[in-house]
Amino acid sequence: MARERVIVRSHPDVLGHLPTLGHPEMPARVRAVLEGLQPHPEGWEIEPEAALPPDGDVIGVLRWLHDPALIERVRGAVAAGQRFVDAEDNPVSKGTWRAALSAAGLAVSTALDLVNGRLRRAFLALRPPGHHAGRNRAMGYCFFNNVALAAEVIARASQAPVLIVDFDVHHGNGTQALFWERPDVGYLSVHRYPFYPGSGAGDETGAGAGLGTTLNVPLAAGADDDTFAGALEAALDDLGRRLKPAAILVSAGFDAHETDPLGGMHVTDEGYRRMTRAIVQAADAWSQGRVLSVLEGGYDLEALASASRAHVEELARALDSTSPSSTG
């Protein structure tokens, strides 16, 4: 039976990725999130050293979505002491391989726990982030696509559609590309546009069997709570009704926050609370309450801590409103 608490998972390995001095994607991000969730009520449980699956199992799942050459480039760059993988915004250090593999492992193991009914809602405080990583390229601080790996595990195990909701200020071009022609994995992104990485226009809707399962909502710089959250609510209702997903996954980037140095948006903690509430309501309606949320961006540490707390509080609110059930 699923545990009726939000399970917050992390692992010390994810702190070992040490980008160049001054790089915004730093280990303090995860520390800020975990510290911001303390003290915590009975509504959630924090596992700061969650168990990880064997490396071989994680690499096997990575190969479902990523070109083996990319996996070896990341591992080889670290072993050789190189400075970057694929792009200059992806610096590496001695701990990068371990961090990236552990982040992917957290996503895989938690997805398995969800499909096996051991939990219904989880938030993963991990890094490096993942939603820019594509099949054969690392970019945008991302090496492997954590949320996409979780979605693939759930889709294969449940044999039912899943939906990824991405509210990071940057469009998740890697996630979109990985599922562009897939009818069983929906991708919804609300993001600033035009902006890095240049994708995410409203006419990008998928192709082939996946036509219509991608839904982008591009917003101009300066969007506030009503604009950003309102756009997500409407789009989620549209795509959710069509897919009726077995689970909802979240690319939880908090860089649209009004104090974030990179985002250029005006979303507050209340805006993240409102978006999370909409996701929970959608999950209760179509997915028996199943939500797996994965940390992406967010580079103002104080805002990251407070917005993450608002997010987890809403994930935990009224968790008993639906009956737990396994998708398996």
In a domain, 328, yes or no: no
In a domain, 101, yes or no: yes
In a domain, 327, yes or no: no
In a domain, 123, yes or no: yes
Single pTM value for the model: 0.96
Spell out where 78-170 has E strands: 84-85, 87-91, 119-124, 162-166
Among residues 17, 131, 132, 257, which one is catalytic? 132
Cβ-based neighbour number of residue 317 at 10 Å: 14
Is beta strand 84-85 parallel, antiparallel or unpaired with respect to 87-91?
Answer: antiparallel
Q: What is the pLDDT along the chain (328 residues), one digit of tens a residue?
A: 566 899 999 999 999 999 998 999 999 999 999 999 999 888 999 999 999 999 999 999 999 999 999 999 999 999 999 999 999 999 999 999 999 999 999 999 999 999 999 999 999 999 999 999 999 999 999 999 999 999 999 999 999 999 999 999 999 999 999 999 999 999 999 999 999 999 999 999 999 999 999 999 999 999 999 999 999 999 999 999 999 999 999 999 999 999 999 999 999 999 999 999 999 999 999 999 999 999 999 999 999 999 999 999 999 997 755 444 333 3
Exposed, middle or buried, 237 (CB in 10 Å: 0-12/13-18/19+)? middle
Exposed, middle or buried, 323 (CB in 10 Å: 0-12/13-18/19+)? exposed
Cα-based angle 132, 136, 137 (whole degrees, multiple of 5): 45
At 228, phi and psi to the nearest 5?
-70, -55
- Domain count of the fold of the chain: 1
Tokens of 160: 């039912």
In a domain, 76, yes or no: yes
In a domain, 198, yes or no: yes
Report the b/e string of 5-15 with b at 16+ CB within 10 A: bbbbbbbebbb
Cβ-based neighbour number of residue 128 at 10 Å: 25
What's the CATH code of the domain at 202?
3.40.800.20
Range of the domain at 228: 3-321
In a domain, 69, yes or no: yes
In a domain, 171, yes or no: yes
**Catalytic status, residue 132:** yes
